[in-house]
Amino acid sequence: MNDRQETGSMWHGGGTWHGTTILGVRKDGAVVLAGDGQVSLGNTVIKHSARKVRTLAGGKVLAGFAGATADAFTLLERLEAKLEQYPGQLLRACVELAKDWRTDRYLRRLEAMMIVADAEHLLVLTGTGDVLEPEGGVAAIGSGGMYALAAARALMATDADAETIARKAMSIAAEICVFTNDKVVVEKLG
């Protein structure tokens, strides 16, 4: 059993968070990040309308997080600093953040995952140093992430735009995952 399992955290070795759903969709030049509003502590809903999706870099970058809230905000601050250091270079900023996240003793203990996007990239960032660009223009994290991902992938073949796909996929995830609700916040580029 590892430290995370022993402390009873919501992290599971496979990278699944229980407590939120974040979905990114890129289609026809538009990029959308959607996140549900539920904050859970164990099996109890603490808040229904948290904002887990944000704009950064003057509205040029979208970021959504799943995991421990304080840890996620720490990572968002670090990402903003990297974006200031490497303006207009989201991929480079994310790689530099991932290096720090993996090697810095303090950051290594942070329990969160992120999806970030700009006009060119849709990326998943993890504490294991991963900076992944999923295929097909869809990325998802969190407890309902795989439900939202499957729904969004199916909807990509329709005429629906990115925002419609994200909203419908999040609605489907909320119907299936008890840690995901229908109080969805959507941020959009393009």
- Cβ neighbors of 159 (< 8 A, separation 6 or more) are none
Choose, from 7, 20, 103, 180, the residue flagged as catalytic.
Answer: 20
| CA–CA separation, 59 and 94 (whole Å) | 17
Q: Is 21 a catalytic residue?
A: no
Tokens of 79: 């990402």
Closest CA to 75 of 26, 131, 30: 131
- Check if the beta carbon of residue 67 is closer than 8 Å to that of residue 111: yes
CA 6, 11, 13, 14: dihedral to nearest 10 degrees? 160
| CA–CA separation, 135 and 51 (whole Å) | 26
The residues annotated as belonging to the active site are 20
